[in-house]
Amino acid sequence: MSDRTTPTWADDSEVHDPYGYGQQYGDGGHGSGQQDQRQRESLRQYAQQARTRPQAQPDHAPHHTPHHSSDQEQAGGYQPGYFTETGSWRFDVRGRTSEYTDQQAYDTFAPFDPYASYTAVEPERAAPVAAEPEAKKPGYTLPAVPESSWAVDTRRSKLLGRGVLLCILLVQAGLSLRLTGTAFQDEALYIASGHYELANLLHGTKLPVDFAAYFSGHPKLYPVLAGAVDSYFGLAGVRVVSLLFMLGATALLYALTRRLFNLRAALGAAALFSVLQSTMVLGNFATYDAAAIFLLALSAWAVVRTDRMKAFAVLLAAPPAALAFGVKYASGLYLPTLVVLAVITAHRHRGIRALGRGVALGTGIAALLGIGYYFSGPLGGISSTTTDRAKGTDTAATMLQHSAEWGGLVFLAALGGTIAYVLRGRMGEMPWIEGETPGRVRRAALGLVLTGTALLAPAYQIHLHTEISLYKHVGFGLLFAAPLAGLGMARLVGPHFRHPQLGILLYVVTLVFGMVQAQRAYSFPDSTQMTAYLSTVVDKRGTYLAEEQEVPAYYLRDKTNWTQWQNTYFMDYRGKDGKQYTGPDAFRQAVRDGKFDAIVMHGDVSPVTYEAVKEGLKNNSHYRLAAVFPYTTSSGEHAYRIWVKQ
């Protein structure tokens, strides 16, 4: 700030001391206090004189500038001030105005100057740089969405996944329980044999036949369980056990798929597997297939769950795998898949050492099977029903067509999931673990093993040229392909459920096909009337011929023994004429000789035998047609015909 104590107009000697005070007291110095006092007094008097002078009107001198003052003086109309353009008054003395640019000077002279004004002088500023125009902001911005959406492994997502899984299991249970009917041939066989095996174990009762010689599973495993449950809860109770096995398999499938991939893939796998026709049928079917699937699922889950543990932890998967083989020998077809899966799942954590897991699991399973075989004795059913099964006459084209109908959609979903998984390890569900994604070779190996397993059962039965039980065996392979099918379903939907309609469409189509196919496969002959009538004519002394003899033998086991019933598949017979007969001729001659006390036939299972029996009944005085009980299946109208010996 300036050290000046006077306004700018006070620099003029005439203005500063118009009355000669400076000459009276010396020059205009400011050294003493008296000089300052005199100066202020002179300034006060000057200000008073200025007020008495005529002032210019605003409209006379609106733009008055210093050079106008001389003109006014010459005209004799000197005016001490003027209005500015803004309408403020400027004090003017001989061309100068009382504008103060110094705060201290203004504070000093403002009391004596009625027209004083202060104008701060700001330092010159650099020319502003033209700012770039700001981008126009949108009116509303969507909040950031996590890339993984609800597939994150959080407590909330786990609860949500379990809730959806519960709904899937309830739907699966409803789809299975809607299937109703009397005992099927296989159900009756295994439950009835279970009663005999249970009596043999508990009381040492001799078995009527060697069930182990022709059963496709060990007779002292599932049949014993079925017989025990049947003793208290009947056929419905045994079927509920199968339902629990299938529900458990679906739950384990969900768990292992979630471990392999993520939550959405797990739900997709469980949803698709739960609506397969084989899943629906086996969930209300009293055979050992449901138990075998559950044990395979348990073993697969143990393999995946122990992938980061020590190598010998994989041995936890060996007991259920070996037990699955014992329950159903055809399960051995899937044991190599478990061994390879043990290597693939651990390879990214252990590298080449993962081979040790496969060796440990394979050795453990083989050791358990060897021990079981040693204590169980000969098992002729392994060769007669599995390894050396008799070949049939079904064509490969027919079996491929039916396999595609029963599981083609899920297989295609698994194939699509495999391709998508090989091309891209993650869809972006959990980007923070992208580094843990297995390499492309390992991904391809996993997809090939799991998806390719679905082809094992059709390929094996095409080799045997038989379609028997193929509708059930398809479900075994699809259990292993389901994780990739669930992944394919998740990729089809896209991240953040971009295309949910595609996943819903896949599920609904699979559901509709499964319901129709299950209803067709579960269409058994209604044996209620037939067994009710036979109960009035059979006893423990007679001999009875029956198509699907297992059914009446099961329902009438309290009145008859197992050995009293003759099936319609094979027979050796020495006739009353002394000749030895076999095959259809044996049935024809036995009927002519009146060997059987009752004959039950419908012709759907053994048409050749049925024709031979009818020939034997022609003009036969030993029998009379006692009853005809019609029934309807998916193949049309049929009837039980019962001939009773007179």
Rounded Cα–Cα distance for residues 286 and 184 (Å): 9
- pLDDT greater at residue 298 or residue 578: 298
Is the model's pLDDT at 533 over the cut of 60?
A: yes
Rounded Cα–Cα distance for residues 491 and 480 (Å): 18
Per-residue confidence (pLDDT) for residue 311, from 0 to 100: 86
Rounded Cα–Cα distance for residues 625 and 3 (Å): 143
Structure tokens at 232: 């208290």
**Nearest Cα residue to 623 out of 642, 640, 604, 606:** 642
Q: Is the dihedral of CA 632, 524, 210, 390 positive or negative?
A: positive
Which residues have CB under 8 Å from 531's CB, separation 6+?
551, 552, 555, 556
Per-residue confidence (pLDDT) for residue 5, from 0 to 100: 44
Mean pLDDT, residues 134-159: 62
Per-residue confidence (pLDDT) for residue 348, from 0 to 100: 82
Per-residue confidence (pLDDT) for residue 439, from 0 to 100: 83
Mean pLDDT, residues 27-41: 53
Give per-residue pLDDT as tens, 342-396. Answer: 999 998 888 888 899 999 999 999 999 999 988 887 777 787 777 667 777 889 9
Per-residue confidence (pLDDT) for residue 50, from 0 to 100: 52
Q: Cα 277 vs. chain centroid, distance in angstroms?
A: 20
Per-residue confidence (pLDDT) for residue 156, from 0 to 100: 80
Per-residue confidence (pLDDT) for residue 116, from 0 to 100: 63
Rounded Cα–Cα distance for residues 237 and 230 (Å): 6
| Average pLDDT along the chain | 82
Q: Which helix (H) or strand (E) holds 16?
A: helix 13-16
Rounded Cα–Cα distance for residues 159 and 161 (Å): 5
Which residues partner with 97 through β-bridges?
Answer: 92
- pLDDT greater at residue 32 or residue 389: 389
Confidence tier at 112 by pLDDT (50, 70, 90): low
Which residues partner with 89 through β-bridges?
Answer: 83
Is the model's pLDDT at 164 over the cut of 50?
A: yes
Q: Cα 55 vs. chain centroid, distance in angstroms?
A: 96
Rounded Cα–Cα distance for residues 547 and 434 (Å): 61
Q: Give per-residue burial for 296-326: e unless 16+ CB within 10 Å, then b.
A: bbbbbbbbbbbbeeebebbbbbbbbbbbbbb
Is the model's pLDDT at 78 over the cut of 90?
A: no
Is the model's pLDDT at 33 over the cut of 70?
A: no
Structure tokens at 191: 């439950």
Is the model's pLDDT at 186 over the cut of 90?
A: yes
Is the model's pLDDT at 66 over the cut of 60?
A: no
Rounded Cα–Cα distance for residues 455 and 447 (Å): 13
**Nearest Cα residue to 567 out of 588, 584, 544:** 544
Query: Which DSSP state fits 575?
Result: -
Structure tokens at 549: 């003899």
Per-residue confidence (pLDDT) for residue 48, from 0 to 100: 57
Q: Would you say 46 and 74 are in contact if contact means Cβ atoms under 8 Å apart?
A: no
Mean pLDDT, residues 75-91: 46
Helix, strand counts (H, E) of the chain: 24, 12
Alpha helices in 261-354 (DSSP H): 263-274, 277-282, 289-305, 318-327, 335-350
Mean pLDDT, residues 421-438: 64
Q: Would you say 593 and 575 are in contact if contact means Cβ atoms under 8 Å apart?
A: yes
Identify the weakest region by mean pLDDT among 69-73, 149-153, 368-372: 69-73
Per-residue confidence (pLDDT) for residue 378, from 0 to 100: 72
Percent of the chain with pLDDT over 90: 61
**Nearest Cα residue to 454 out of 417, 423, 422:** 417
Structure tokens at 620: 């036969």
Q: Is the dihedral of CA 249, 255, 259, 265 positive or negative?
A: positive
How many residues belong to the chain?
646
- pLDDT greater at residue 1 or residue 133: 133
Structure tokens at 17: 């001391």
